[in-house]
Amino acid sequence: MPHYKLTYFNLYGRGETARILFHLAGVPYDDVRIEMEEWAGKKSDTRWGFLPELEVDGKKVAQSKAINLYLAKQFGFGGKDEWETARIVEFLLAFDDIGPMLYNVYVEQDPSKKAELTELTIDRGLKPLYNRFEKSLEENGNGY
Amino acid sequence: MPHYKLTYFNLYGRGETARILFHLAGVPYDDVRIEMEEWAGKKSDTRWGFLPELEVDGKKVAQSKAINLYLAKQFGFGGKDEWETARIVEFLLAFDDIGPMLYNVYVEQDPSKKAELTELTIDRGLKPLYNRFEKSLEENGNGY
């Protein structure tokens, strides 16, 4: 079995999906967690200036979605063929569209603006997205 | 060979990569281009409210990156194994990080703010990114 080393911050964020994949597969790995005060000194060692990064027998791949897709495929969670993989990637990316809207709500400090943005995000973002998810699940006809 | 139908706007945007993949592979497909005035009536027919969408023998997959990755794999441009695929996805996503910065420059109307944003985007966005690309290409040691 290859030697896996995952480097991320001591957070869930963009690293937790990979950790969950290791856990689900029962595959041991080095779970390296960089504390925020160490980050300034380590950033330039990363390939793109970001974490997470995954090393597989010393070879590095970066970008959380590239890492997650790779691990999912290695561990049998990436679909039984390329079509299933494409549909999985599609669903992951469909969730991304809501990210910036949620982020704007999260960082807004003014309480009344925050309430307004929350409502807008639910009505224009979350509700249509969840309706589409539901419809897509029904079309699949297998419950997931 | 399966029957491919790609639906997008009459633009490059998020559809052109898939068209280029068909072209490179020499694979025929229906190149359906929705004009902007038709879009309002067609949006609710799409799975997520966005284009492009790809149909393969009538089965649909959406989200441009899912489509592009699928076609690349089908046509032999997706890497010779899962590791190469992961590295390809990594490079594609590394380019994404610059997207929002470029978009902000593009939509800014005020000329002096636009100039300021352009400089900032070059210094803090493009230059570090291209330096990282160059380093990464050197590390690969094969010229690409």
Chain A with chain B: Cβ pairs closer than 8 A: 81
- Model confidence at B139, pLDDT cuts 50, 70, 90, reads confident
> For residue B18, what pLDDT is reported?
98
For B60-69, what is each residue's pLDDT tens digit? 999 999 999 9
Mean pLDDT for each consecutive 10-residue tract of chain A (144 residues)? 97 96 98 96 92 97 96 96 95 85 90 94 91 87 75
Tokens of B123: 């210094």
d(CA B67, CA B15): 9
Mean pLDDT across chain B, nearest whole number? 93
Given a cut of 90, whether residue B144 has pLDDT beyond it is no
Give the strands of the sheet with A59-62, arranged side by side: A30-34, A4-9, A53-56, A59-62
> For residue A33, what pLDDT is reported?
98
Given a cut of 90, whether residue B140 has pLDDT beyond it is no
What residues in B contact A82, CB-CB < 8 Å? 70, 73-74
d(CA B44, CA A132): 10
Work out the average pLDDT over B3-31: 97
Give the strands of the sheet with B4-9, arranged side by side: B30-34, B4-9, B53-56, B59-62
> For residue A122, what pLDDT is reported?
94
For B42-94, what is each residue's pLDDT tens digit? 998 999 999 999 999 999 999 999 999 999 999 999 999 999 999 999 998 98
pTM to 2 decimal places:
0.88
For A17-51, what is each residue's pLDDT tens digit? 999 999 999 999 999 999 999 999 999 899 999 99
Which of B69, B93, B128 minimises the CB distance to A49? B128
Kind and range of the H or E run holding B132: helix B127-140
Given a cut of 90, whether residue B136 has pLDDT beyond it is no
B6 forms bridges with which residues in the sheet? Answer: B31, B54
**B85 inside 8 A of chain A by CB:** yes
Q: What residues of chain B, 55 to 74, have a C-beta less than 8 Å from chain A?
A: 56, 59, 61-63, 65-67, 69-70, 73-74
**Burial class for A7, CB neighbours closer than 10 Å (0-12, 13-18, 19+):** buried
A48/B97 touch (CB, cutoff 8 Å), yes or no: yes
d(CA A47, CA A92): 24
